[in-house]
Amino acid sequence: LHDALPISDNASGIISLAQAAALSGYHQIYLGYLCRNGKLKGFKVGRNWVTTKEALAEFQAANKNGSSE
């Protein structure tokens, strides 16, 4: 799963799904669903999914019209 999301030297861009939910307005559980189904780039750290602000912004830009599936 790590291949799905390249990690740069600056790991500060990595955010938890709770942080992503606060930034995006999407529910944390929905963001986890999107990660599991490959619609939002992310990976697991232990049992928790994480993503990046960049991946979240890409997802939001691609789904402006409300269609995410």
pLDDT digits (tens, 9 = 90+) for 45-55: 999 999 999 99
Q: SS3 for 1-58, per residue?
A: CHHHCCCCCCHHHEEEHHHHHHHHCCCHHHHHHHHHCCCCCCEEECCEEEEEHHHHHH
pLDDT digits (tens, 9 = 90+) for 14-64: 999 999 999 999 999 999 999 999 999 999 999 999 999 999 999 999 988
Instruction: Provide the token pair at 4.
Output: 């799905």
Q: How far apart are the first and last CA of the chain?
A: 21
What's the pLDDT at 67? 59
Distance in angstroms (rounded) separating the CA atoms of residues 38 and 5:
11
